[in-house]
Amino acid sequence: MREYEKALSFYEKDLEICQKTLPPNHPDLATSYNNIGLVHKNIGEYSKALSFYEKGLEIWRKTLPSNHSLLATSYNNIGLVLINIGKYPKALLYLERALNIFQSSLPPNHSSIENVQQSIISLKKKL
């Protein structure tokens, strides 16, 4: 519905509750960070988006298996923000990490694999 300010308000309330009730490295906290990052990305606040995505990734790296699809989602999200701020080589590294994890953890015809592959193809045209 593109009601980003309203969404951000709810996600921030969720984060506040999670921070009060969960351990600092709980995966649900990472989900909250990721959701807030998504809103910031959607409204063009890329530095804020990157900050929240990185906080989520840090938690998921510590708490999830290295081939978990949430890690791939996080790498993909960061890669897409890096594209938006013109950091193409670094973006490619993140997208390739996402693709490797998705390919090892999802069926070969999963849409996430195709989406990341398309992002990589588009990005390589900019390099």
* Domain limits, the chain: 1-63, 66-127
Residue 94 corresponds to which tokens in the numbers above? 């993140």
Residue 40 corresponds to which tokens in the numbers above? 């910031």
pLDDT of residue 2: 86
Residue 100 corresponds to which tokens in the numbers above? 């490797």
1-63 adopts what CATH topology?
Answer: 1.25.40
Residue 15 has pLDDT above 90, yes or no: yes
pLDDT of residue 1: 87
Mean pLDDT (the chain, rounded):
96
66-127 adopts what CATH topology?
Answer: 1.25.40
pLDDT tens per residue, range 26-66:
999 999 999 999 999 999 999 999 999 999 999 999 999 99
Nearest to 25 by CA among 61, 69, 51, 54: 61
Q: Tell me whether the CATH fold assigned to 1-63 matches the one assigned to 66-127.
A: yes
Reduce the DSSP state of residue 21 to 3 states and report it.
helix
AA identity, residue 45: E
pLDDT tens per residue, range 95-104:
999 999 999 9
pTM over 0.85: yes
